[in-house]
Amino acid sequence: MALRLDNLPNAQVNPMANDCLFCKIANGDIPARKLYEDEELVAFWDIAPQAPKHFLVIPKKHLSGPAAVDTDDEALAGRMLRKGAQLARENGVESFRLVFNEGAEAGQTVFHLHLHVLGGRALAWPPG
């Protein structure tokens, strides 16, 4: 049975949301194929990849999405971008796409800030 993510609530900004799938992954409560982890970030392979190489970079701090990033979170968001690019190169992907989604209509299904890193094939534009 496939995991349904489109009915998760849009959580408020807080250090951890108890019902948030990505908070549970960041905490180690749900296993993931991790690529990287430090005190602020976790990167792991997407369970439903949209490209041969598709992983996510998430902050351990719960933020509901890109619109929840405040001035206090700008360095964290920058680290997400830098780490995503670094991990892409370390995994043999020189050309890649970085994607943040905000809101259900934009395709956001888990309401915890996350960066998609996609590569390993030619990516069409516009994306959809």
Catalytic residue ranges: 114
Distance CA 117, CA 70 (A): 22
Please report where in the chains the tokens 């990849």 appear, as a residue: 49
91: which 2 tokens?
């995994």
Instruction: State which H helix or E strand residue 37 sits in.
Output: strand 34-37
φ and ψ at 33, to 5 degrees? -80, 90
Which helix (H) or strand (E) covers residue 24, if one does?
Answer: helix 21-27
